[in-house]
Amino acid sequence: EILPLADFIRLYYPPDTPYCFKYEDGNQPYDMLVVDDQNNEIERIEVTKVIDGHSEKTSTTELTDKGMTTFSPNNKDASDLLKEILLKKQSKGNYVNCKLVIYMVERELVFYDVNEMIEIIRRYADNTFTGIFLVERGSSDGNPTKIVYAHYS
């Protein structure tokens, strides 16, 4: 979660921002608090990656238990995963004053179409979050990390 949060902060907030960013580890409905110099909460940030959580957990368990695992890219379509993520988060409904950052990493997905992902956000977004941001991680071939889409409620 730290790298996606750091990338988003660098891209979204100006370098001279007066805010502080506090990472929150645990089960609360956000990953980072944005606070002012008096420690007053400004907003919250929740970050997620479009991955198949079940496959990810299975691989992690294998790695922990056996010391090795087989690489298996997501078997599910990225757009189906994104729909599942948005609907699951909306069903929780406790994201007060919170932005959602959807972090896309090409090597973790077999294939995804950015325009299709944007259309899914437009179709499934509601007022659960103050904003939904699609962030695409840069690659070693020179493509920079960037916010490719921002949806505001």
pTM of the predicted protein model: 0.83
In tens, the pLDDT along 98-146 reads 999 999 887 666 578 889 999 999 999 999 999 999 999 988 777 899 9
Q: What does the mean pLDDT of the chain come to? A: 86
Q: Which of 29, 7, 23 is nearest to 92 (CA)?
A: 29
In tens, the pLDDT along 35-55 reads 999 999 999 999 998 876 555
- CA distance linking residue 73 with residue 11, whole number of Å: 28
Give the list of residues 6+ apart from residue 67 with CB closer than 8 angstroms, or none: none
Q: Which of 138, 134, 137, 136 is nearest to 149 (CA)?
A: 134
